[in-house]
Structure 1
Amino acid sequence: MAHVISPLILEQWLKAWCLSRKLPLPVPFKSGFKVDVGYEKQKVRYVFPQLYEDFFELANHIDEAWIFLKVCAQPTALKGKIPEKWVIQPQGYMMSCFEPMKIPNIELPEGFKLEFTISGVVSTLKIIAPNGDLATSGHLVLTDDLAVYDRIQTEIGYRRRGLAILLMKELEKIALSKSIFKNFLVATEEGKSLYQFLGWELHSFYTSIVIEN
């Protein structure tokens, strides 16, 4: 069951998202937050914990492409209420796990190795295949009492080997070593089932819209 997300947790997650990408930190904007991203196809993102009137005011005011509006609500709540110029993006899911993950006993396959790098509050883990390929990678960002998992990716040729589970296990060890038990991430439709298998729960829907050209 989805919950109403607190502005504090949303701000912590968004701060971690920015730190993971070395972007400017979020700033308050009306009932939500604003990030100057600066990418070619994501110039700015506005993120809101709930659907308030200021979200719809922005949707009616903005005409520029590649400015994202994001809200912790289901897409059905937007339909018929935003101009047709906006395109609803693939569904995202805010997920939380406030206790140790339910991780099965899986060993790293023979010949694979772990590579850790730490920069401030951002830990990056890569799993390298025997031939030197990057098989799986992910980031953990610790913001206050929250552990945020970001960009957990397994390359197509290395899926279904338990590598993402191993990566999550190793990243969780870092959070637990700092006595942080509150875990948070945004999952894609594809990744949601993996996190649910590990004990994560849906915290809220995460819907994005953008003018694409």
Structure 2
Amino acid sequence: MTKIESALIRRWLNGWTVARSLPAAEPVESGEDGLWSKCNQPGREVEVFALRADEEPKSLARLAASVAAAQQTTWLTVPTLLPGTVEAVVSAAGLEVLQRSEWFMTTDLTEHPQHAPAAPYEREVRTEGPVTVVSLHDSSGGVAAHGAIAVIGADAIADRIETDAAHRRRGLGRAMMSALAEAAVAQGARTGLLIASKEGQHLYSSLGWHHEADVLIARGPGVPPNE
């Protein structure tokens, strides 16, 4: 594979916005170059997602220039098989590179391994519409780990998988992903998609998730708060 397909990025983004209760992503002004979504977070008001950075490098340069000129603090997320080239382009546009080591990953959820949480942890599963949230509670009832997954057709997009620092290295990550996969398959999903942090890549790989592309994230300068 010489590039990550834009359709795959779109599928992930459709679920990511649903998982976070964000507005659906819209095309950027430059047409097919990318999509954007309001995030409404301090220091991350808007996020732009590149769709064809590898196949059309000029499209990335256009996106980077628009992010650099944005009046709101805007992030640019770029799935790519050419991270070095992408970093050079976004840096030349004046963007600050935030993450260099995230991965775009997929899996067949119907073959996902199952791991139950060990005692004393208990699992809570809550589904509202297309989104399922799983929490793992310790003996005192506190949340030791949590995560969400949004089912869109046959796709399920996992998001915000976190384990509290005091409960790590106890198999909770595996139990969390098992519960999310089980819930997604029960709703008709077959393909899992996610963007993995550097810390999560080993876990997901051990569960059969496949690396499809690197993901580089950069940020524009935005407008200072006092202006």
Q: What TM-score comes out, normalization by structure 1 length?
A: 0.89
Query: In the TM superposition, what is the alpha-carbon distance from 1:183 to its structure 2 partner?
Result: 0.9
The 3-state SS of whatever aligns with 1:23 is coil
Counterpart check, 1:98 vs 2:97: no
Aligned to 1:130: 139
Query: In the TM superposition, what is the alpha-carbon distance from 1:163 to its structure 2 partner?
Result: 0.8
Aligned to 2:11: 12
Give the structure with the larger helix fraction: 2
Aligned to 1:155: 164
Deviations 1:70-113 (A, max 9, x none): 11114301244333631112221100112534526x44222321
- In the superposition, relative to structure 1, how do residues 165 and 148 fare at CA in structure 2: closer, same or farther (>3 Å)? same
Aligned to 2:61: 56
Deviations 1:119-145 (A, max 9, x none): 110000000111222111010110121
- In the superposition, relative to structure 1, how do residues 9 and 132 fare at CA in structure 2: closer, same or farther (>3 Å)? same
Contact 1:75–1:88 (CA under 8 A) maintained in structure 2: no
Counterpart check, 1:69 vs 2:76: yes
Counterpart check, 1:34 vs 2:36: yes
The 3-state SS of whatever aligns with 1:95 is strand
Contact 2:64–2:93 (CA under 8 A) maintained in structure 1: no
- In the superposition, relative to structure 1, how do residues 49 and 98 fare at CA in structure 2: closer, same or farther (>3 Å)? farther
How many angstroms apart in 2 are the aligned matches of 1:46 and 1:143?
21
- In the superposition, relative to structure 1, how do residues 87 and 49 fare at CA in structure 2: closer, same or farther (>3 Å)? same
- In the superposition, relative to structure 1, how do residues 4 and 98 fare at CA in structure 2: closer, same or farther (>3 Å)? farther
Contact 1:92–1:189 (CA under 8 A) maintained in structure 2: yes
Contact 1:112–1:127 (CA under 8 A) maintained in structure 2: yes
Contact 1:20–1:122 (CA under 8 A) maintained in structure 2: yes
How many angstroms apart in 2 are the aligned matches of 1:57 and 1:176?
39
How many residues are matched? Answer: 211
Residue type at the aligned position of 1:197: S
Q: Using the TM superposition, name which of 72-81 and 194-203 deviates more.
A: 72-81
How many angstroms apart in 1 are the aligned matches of 2:190 and 2:129?
19
Please list every run of 5 or more consecutive structure 2 residues that lacks an aligned counterpart in the other structure: 223-227
- In the superposition, relative to structure 1, how do residues 85 and 153 fare at CA in structure 2: closer, same or farther (>3 Å)? same
Query: In the TM superposition, what is the alpha-carbon distance from 1:24 to its structure 2 partner?
Result: 0.5
How many angstroms apart in 2 are the aligned matches of 1:200 and 1:57?
32
- In the superposition, relative to structure 1, how do residues 12 and 80 fare at CA in structure 2: closer, same or farther (>3 Å)? closer
Greater relative contact order, per chain length (Cα 8 Å cut-off, separation 6+): 1
Residue type at the aligned position of 1:23: L
RMSD, matched Cα: 2.0
Query: In the TM superposition, what is the alpha-carbon distance from 1:59 to its structure 2 partner?
Result: 1.9
Query: In the TM superposition, what is the alpha-carbon distance from 1:181 to its structure 2 partner?
Result: 1.7
The 3-state SS of whatever aligns with 1:190 is coil
Q: Using the TM superposition, name which of 90-99 and 182-191 deviates more.
A: 90-99
Residue type at the aligned position of 1:21: R
Contact 1:11–1:26 (CA under 8 A) maintained in structure 2: no
How many angstroms apart in 2 are the aligned matches of 1:70 and 1:110?
39
Please list every run of 5 or more consecutive structure 1 residues that lacks an aligned counterpart in the other structure: none
